[in-house]
Amino acid sequence: MITKEKYDLIVKLLKEGYTNREICKIARCSPNEITPIRKTIFGENTETDTDMKGKSICAQVFDLLEKKDLAIPNCHNS
| pLDDT higher than threshold 80 for residue 50 | no
Give a yes or no: residue 74 inside a domain: no
The predicted structure's pLDDT at residue 61: 81
pLDDT in tens, 2-46: 899 999 999 999 999 999 999 999 999 999 999 999 988 888 665
Give a yes or no: residue 73 inside a domain: no
Domains identified in the chain, total number: 1
DSSP string, 3-40: -HHHHHHHHHHHHTT--HHHHHHHHT--HHHHHHHHHH
Give a yes or no: residue 75 inside a domain: no
Q: Which domain holds residue 35?
A: 4-68
The predicted structure's pLDDT at residue 1: 73
Give a yes or no: residue 17 inside a domain: yes
The predicted structure's pLDDT at residue 53: 64
Q: What is the pTM of this model?
A: 0.56
The predicted structure's pLDDT at residue 42: 83
